[in-house]
Amino acid sequence: MHEIYLIRNTFERIEEEFPEKFKRVSEIHLKVGLLSNVQPILITNAFKAFVMEFPEYYNTQLIVDTLDVIIECECGAKTVIEKNRFVCKSCNKPCRNIIQGEELYINEIKFNNNNEYN
C-alpha cells in the first residue's frame, strides 16, 4: 500500500514548496506511467482516505493522468505497448527502449485565488 505514502509525500512537498498558499491548493495533477508500479485506482483511494483525515484538503481534487507505455525501435517507429508485448509494430523486432510509461510526478498544481471558502 505504498500509494498512501505517495499521497502523504505529495502533500508534504506542496506544503514545503508553497508555505503561504498550500491551504488553498485546489487541484493536483499527477502523471502516472503504466510501468511506474502505482495503480491509479489505488492512488485515488489513498487520496480519498487522506482527505478524510485532513479536512483542510476537502476541496482539493486529484487528477490522475495515466500514460501508456511507448517504445521506440531502432527503425524509428514508436509503438504503444499492449498486453506486455514489447515488439515493434513496424518491423516486428523485440524492443525494450521505453520512451514513456515509467513516469511518476506532479505535473501541475492549482490554487484558489483568494482566502475565502469556495
Residues in contact with Zn ion by CB under 5 A are 73, 75, 77, 88, 90-91
Question: Would you say 61 or 90 has its CB closer to Zn ion?
Answer: 90
| Smallest distance from Zn ion to CB 74, Å | 7
Question: Would you say 64 or 77 has its CB closer to Zn ion?
Answer: 77
| Smallest distance from Zn ion to CB 73, Å | 3
Residue 98 bridge partners (DSSP): 71
Locate 91 and state its grid cell. Answer: 518491423
| Smallest distance from Zn ion to CB 93, Å | 5
Encode burial over 53-83: b for 16+ CB neighbours within 10 A, e otherwise.
eeeebeebebebeebebbbebeeeeebebee
